[in-house]
Structure 1
Amino acid sequence: MALRDFSKVKRIVIKIGSSSLTHQTGKINLLQMELLVRQMADLHNAGLEVILVSSGAVGAGIGKLGLKGRPRTLPEKQAAAAVGQGILVHMYEKFFLEYGITVAQVLLTRGDFADRRRYLNARNALEHLLHIGVIPVINENDTVSVDELKLGDNDSLSALVASMLDAELLVVLSDIEGLYDSDPRSNPQARLLNEVKGVTGELELMAGGAGSALGTGGMATKLQAAKIAGEAGVPMVIAKSTEPNLIRRLLQGEQLGTVFWPREAKLEYKKRWIAFANPVCGKIIIDRGAKAALLNQGKSLLPSGIVNAEGSFEMGNTVSIVDSGGMEIARGMVNYSFREVQKIKGLQTGEIEKVLGHKDYDEVVHRNNMVLLGGVEINDE
């Protein structure tokens, strides 16, 4: 077991889920929020840069509007978020102000990460907030998000933020103790895993669906977050939010929750953006020869190795590159549209111009615009 030594961490992202902030009634759990704020304020006073990614806006709106359960339609969720976001930030501002700390509300959508200029602008703004001693309170902008732009859960959002800001630790606070080797809700013998090195397909199969009635994130979304953070070189810990003085104890090296160790050589910013921030617009299925060329020889993807394509991607979009068994090998930015790839799949590069009437590139996906992911099973749900 690797030694947990987070004593030198200076920049930490803390994600708090809806279930950790709200009662079963849907209203904010003020005691729990105050306890978590006190821990974060103490870290801030100790000189750490703290970034908070907080769910709870929809839950707070549910309580305020007197709804009986979580909204099912997107307009209902947007309305609850519009009402609840102000309540949530007001409470954070009130609690942090008791310790003399200023907070800033930052609302993000998938579009802020997918668009390169907006991505860099968001990073610069967050960096300046940290520089002037402000704690950013980040949430997905549920009020204006639509299905095509939604990040889907704040687990992934927290990992994208940690990657964007080169954080040294991501702590995901939830209503569960960590990752188990089976579902503890159905198996009382389930064992808590203290550490994980690499998110595999087998681990993803162990993950369940959505968690509580108030939250959207289950263990599957947390594993996706661990994958994003790991590629950026950021260790991630999942732990139970109600554990007393949890964050301080984690930083002191106590074996709480599950730690996901990152890859040794983290991806450069551009490749992190390609792999996780940019929305995937389709799939390209490749044969065994192309798979070996990508994984073992550092080659670009040529049309000769392509078996099929799915989706509606255009030139410049990000696609998932998979083998015949559905295992994701890589992600990359394509040089040709879906229709063009369908026409040139299986052909030699010398035949591209004859078939399409033009040839701008030999490669369908150039190596410089590709990120290898090591064969992760794809979940299309």
Structure 2
Amino acid sequence: MIDCRSKLAQAHRVVVKIGSSSLAYGTGKPNLTRLESLVRQLSDLHNRGLEVILVTSGAVGLGLSRLGFTRRPRNIPEKQAAAAVGQGLLMHLYEKLFAEYGITVGQVLLTREDFTHRSRFLNARNTLYTMLSLAIIPVINENDTVAVDEIKLGDNDTLAAMVASAIDADLLIILSDIDGLYTANPQTDPNACLISEVTEITPELERQAGGAGSRFGTGGMITKLSAARLAMHSGMPMVLAAAACDNVLRRIIGGENVGTIFWPCSKLENKKRWIAYGSAVHGALHVDAGAAEAITHHGKSLLPSGITAVQGEFELGNTVSIIDPGGKELARGIVNYSSREVRLIMGRKTGEIERILGYKDFDEVVHRNNLALL
């Protein structure tokens, strides 16, 4: 058992994500008592000199309530309309509450594309760094009014982890309506036990993860495990706890045993972190056992001789998944050849590339420097 929660008090840059179910009652109306409590805690952390970034859900839920919906519509335009209404309501609440403590906040709306395109990713990161340098608390949400894919996913947990990774945060805190990760669903299994800490996300843990929670929220435990995996590979701990817990942020930063903590593992460098979790995947390369062994255990690049199949269509510079013989994704990487070219040279030696294609720009289909193990 690791007993290092006291180290959380050393965190300087903290990303806090608040879920929809923590911001609103079952009626869809905002839970003002909860909001006031969380804003007060965030403001106190800010006053202590910490850099605080807030990732918030709730725009669609508040919009649905204002528009009179009793449940989430399945129609995408209606969801976008609700987001357009709710985003203004949500930001107005945050501005009003933070202003009572003399703190300036700024709205940042992001989509997955802001992370999949490298230049946009760097621009977003620079904007966040500048806001922090000006003592502004960024209030981040998905741009649900235009991001159809993001609305389908409803994955602000992963968005929070991406933001935390992008700005090299020291700690990610995800606040939800559940007080941590359990061995089973505590709502249906009376024998479910809270897991205090996690050092590795295993297939067993993933099987224990359930579906979406409240009717106004779309995230579930599986999205929180995905966020935890990204945080762990970014070298930062993540704490999953209940927003309703008294002084939850102060207690987490103070090192108390609150919720479930996911401890970091080996840290990927920034570029490989982006390849693994930020870039869009355009296809897949299936490899044989020898190539899988060389990539996983010997730090080798992927050569055409080890490729057994090509899936999807992609171009030079796109990111692809690398799949082992058992069908498991073992890595992601940026390709040096298009899918058409790889289909022609797969299974062949590097010395044959020029004869087959008429040219050879690279020996490797994916160079080790552009490959991130998962």
Superposition TM-score tier, normalisation by shorter sequence: over 0.9
CA distance in 1, matches of 2:366, 2:353: 14
CA distance in 1, matches of 2:125, 2:263: 24
Match of 2:328 in 1: 327
Q: 3-state SS of the aligned residue for 2:174?
A: strand
Deviations 1:198-217 (A, max 9, x none): 22223222211222211121
- Provide the alpha-carbon RMSD of the alignment: 1.5
Q: 3-state SS of the aligned residue for 2:17?
A: strand
Match of 1:309 in 2: 310
Question: What is the one-letter code of the residue matched to 1:327?
Answer: K
Give TM-score, length-normalised by structure 2: 0.96
| Change beyond 3 A, Cα 1:212–1:122 | same
Deviations 1:12-33 (A, max 9, x none): 0000001101111222111111
CA distance in 1, matches of 2:263, 2:231: 9
Question: What is the one-letter code of the residue matched to 1:270?
Answer: K
Question: What is the one-letter code of the residue matched to 1:332?
Answer: G
Question: What is the one-letter code of the residue matched to 1:291?
Answer: A
CA distance in 2, matches of 1:196, 1:300: 31
Q: 3-state SS of the aligned residue for 1:203?
A: helix
Question: What is the one-letter code of the residue matched to 2:75?
Answer: T
1:94-243 mapped onto 2 (5 Å cutoff): 94-147=96-149, 152-243=154-245
1:187 to partner: Cα distance: 1.7
Question: What is the one-letter code of the residue matched to 2:326?
Answer: G
Identity of matched residues, %: 62
Which one is further off, 150-159 or 325-334?
150-159
The answer to whether the 8 Å contact 1:27/1:62 transfers is no
Match of 1:58 in 2: 60
Deviations 1:257-276 (A, max 9, x none): 1000011x421111111111
The answer to whether the 8 Å contact 1:282/1:319 transfers is yes
Deviations 1:267-316 (A, max 9, x none): 11111111111111222111110011001111000111111121222221
CA distance in 2, matches of 1:114, 1:227: 18
Match of 1:300 in 2: 301
Question: What is the one-letter code of the residue matched to 1:361?
Answer: F
Which residue, 24, 27, 41 being the options, matches 1:39? 41
Deviations 1:339-380 (A, max 9, x none): 22222221212222333333221111110000011xxxxxxx
Question: What is the one-letter code of the residue matched to 1:247?
Answer: L
Question: What is the one-letter code of the residue matched to 1:77?
Answer: K
1:71 to partner: Cα distance: 2.2
Q: 3-state SS of the aligned residue for 1:160?
A: helix
Match of 1:285 in 2: 286
Q: 3-state SS of the aligned residue for 1:325?
A: coil
Equivalenced residues, count: 372
The answer to whether the 8 Å contact 2:29/2:65 transfers is yes
The answer to whether the 8 Å contact 1:19/1:175 transfers is yes
Which one is further off, 310-319 or 37-46?
310-319
Which one is further off, 28-37 or 238-247?
28-37
Which residue, 72, 75, 81 being the options, matches 1:73? 75
Q: 3-state SS of the aligned residue for 1:365?
A: coil
The answer to whether the 8 Å contact 1:127/1:165 transfers is yes
| Change beyond 3 A, Cα 1:148–1:346 | farther
1:183 to partner: Cα distance: 2.1
CA distance in 1, matches of 2:96, 2:84: 19
Q: 3-state SS of the aligned residue for 1:147?
A: helix
Which one is further off, 327-336 or 147-156?
147-156
CA distance in 2, matches of 1:68, 1:152: 18
Which one is further off, 204-213 or 353-362?
353-362
| Change beyond 3 A, Cα 1:348–1:149 | farther
1:227 to partner: Cα distance: 0.9
Question: What is the one-letter code of the residue matched to 2:165?
Answer: S
Question: What is the one-letter code of the residue matched to 1:23?
Answer: Y
Contiguous gaps of at least 5 residues in structure 1? 374-381
Which residue, 258, 261, 275 being the options, matches 2:260? 258
Higher helix share: 2
CA distance in 2, matches of 1:150, 1:364: 33
Q: 3-state SS of the aligned residue for 1:254?
A: coil
The answer to whether the 8 Å contact 1:140/1:151 transfers is no
The answer to whether the 8 Å contact 1:283/1:320 transfers is yes
Question: What is the one-letter code of the residue matched to 2:63?
Answer: G
Deviations 1:95-143 (A, max 9, x none): 0001111100000011111111111111111111111111000001111
CA distance in 1, matches of 2:151, 2:240: 26
Give TM-score, length-normalised by structure 1: 0.94
| Change beyond 3 A, Cα 1:167–1:150 | farther
